[in-house]
Amino acid sequence: MRDVATMAGVGIATVSRVVNGKPGVTPDLAEKVTRAAELLGYRHDMTASSLRRADRRTHTLGLILEDAANPFSAALHRAVEDTAAERGVLVLAGSTDEDPVRERGLVRTFTARRVDGLIVVPTGRTDTDLDAARGAGTPVVCVDRPTSVREVDTVTVDNRAGVRAAVGRLHAAGHRRIAFLGDLPTIWTAEERHAGFVEGLAETGSVLHPALVRRAVHGVEAAQEATRELLALPRPPTALVSGQNLVTVGVRKTLQDLRRQHDVALIGFDDLPFADLLDPGISVIAQDPVAIGREAATLLFDRVDGDPGPARHRVLTTRYLARGSGELPGPGGV
């Protein structure tokens, strides 16, 4: 920048003004500066810029996901990216794999880089760190799951209602032995979905068969095994509710291995790519990752802009997508 200034025969301050498109520079001078910058191959340094700037904005935001490769995360990421891009903000992303240690590390490095804000899918065991970041001036929005710290904004989904309604449908279709397969109990959504399952049974006046409830089923393989075990029971379930997308895949794999996909009903939580191409299609309780991401980014930018209001907790609804697997009739008759 100094070089540009001397080459253009102007002060360094003027170069800064031109570079930042500030008004009040004689077009003549501005022209000279632009030319000099061009000639010297000058590249503006945003890091130095935000260091000196009054607002100290880095125009960067941190996104902490469970796993960037998961379709849900990927869609969320893209939605955040798009709404951030509208403000000229870039997204720094990292995956925790549900490991609180990694989450803590990411929060630390992100704040060390002075991101303008943090969007986090919290593992649920680093609340104090998240709160520390917030206390230190980095706005935080929790996504998909809340935190124990009530002061942070959250965007979640009404998991309970979604599963409850699904159970209601299965009951109405005649199912009386409905099983549930849920993810790790440390994950808030897994617990909520499980609670929704219990509530759904209660609402329909059904009995809860403990043998038909499998928790801590994490990943495709675990789901396959759990499904095999459930179907091998003396009195097996006639319908399955899966609490997570990879679990749904595992369940369905086993169902197909056993050629039972046409007689055992299945409803999964969270949509899957191409679930509608299967036969029968997999009925799911779908969330809208794009809406979630957009909402989270919007809330975050409000805070970045200085909104001091009380914490907002957005709860989006789920949508049931009937595609066949959830509509298979049960023996309870209608």
Partner DNA sequence: TTGAAAGCGTTACCAG
Partner DNA sequence: CTGGTAACGCTTTCAA
Give the footprint of DNA on this chain (CB under 7 A).
1-2, 9-17, 19-20, 24-26, 28-29, 43-45, 48-49, 51-55
93 binds, among DNA, a second copy, none (CB under 5 to 8 A by kind): a second copy
Binding of a second copy by 44 (CB under 8 A) = yes
Binding of a second copy by 242 (CB under 8 A) = no
253 binds, among DNA, a second copy, none (CB under 5 to 8 A by kind): a second copy
CB-wise, 26 or 298, nearer to DNA?
A: 26
Closest approach, Cβ 298 to a second copy, in A, equals 19
| Contacting residue, 10, 36, 73, 119, with a second copy by CB under 8 A | 73
Q: In what order do the strands lie in the sheet with 178-181?
A: 213-214, 178-181, 239-242, 265-269, 283-286, 319-321
Distances (CA, A) of 70 to 41, 80, 240, 306: 40, 15, 23, 33
State the Cα–Cα distance between residues 269 and 283, nearest whole angstrom: 9
State the Cα–Cα distance between residues 321 and 142, nearest whole angstrom: 26
CB-wise, 114 or 312, nearer to DNA?
A: 114
- Count Cβ atoms below 10 Å from residue 242 Cβ, excluding itself: 31
# residues near a second copy by CB under 8 A: 50
Enclosing H/E stretch for 308: none
Binding of a second copy by 41 (CB under 8 A) = yes
Binding of a second copy by 22 (CB under 8 A) = no
For 141-152, b where at least 16 C-beta lie within 10 A, e where not — what string?
Answer: bbbbbbbebeeb
Only segment of 32-40, 208-216, 247-255, 310-318 that touches a second copy (CB under 8 A): 247-255
Closest approach, Cβ 43 to DNA, in A, equals 7
Q: Which two tokens stand for residue 307?
A: 């909104």
State the Cα–Cα distance between residues 324 and 117, nearest whole angstrom: 42
Closest approach, Cβ 332 to a second copy, in A, equals 28
In the chain the first and final C-alpha atoms are separated, in Å, by 78
Binding of a second copy by 33 (CB under 8 A) = no
Nearest to 155 by CA among 24, 312, 321: 312
Nearest to 226 by CA among 250, 249, 209, 256: 250
Closest approach, Cβ 49 to DNA, in A, equals 3
Contact 155, 188 (CB under 8 A): no
Binding of a second copy by 43 (CB under 8 A) = yes
Q: Which two tokens stand for residue 296?
A: 């989270």
DSSP 281: B
| Contacting residue, 14, 83, 95, 287, with a second copy by CB under 8 A | 95
Q: Which two tokens stand for residue 121?
A: 């899918």
CB-wise, 15 or 272, nearer to a second copy?
A: 272
Contacts of 51 (CB under 8 A, 6+ apart): none
CB-wise, 111 or 189, nearer to a second copy?
A: 111
26 binds, among DNA, a second copy, none (CB under 5 to 8 A by kind): DNA
Chain contacts with a second copy (rule: CB under 8 A)? 41, 43-48, 50-51, 58, 60, 67-71, 73-75, 77-78, 81, 85, 88, 90-95, 109-114, 132, 135-136, 249, 252-253, 256, 272-275, 277-279
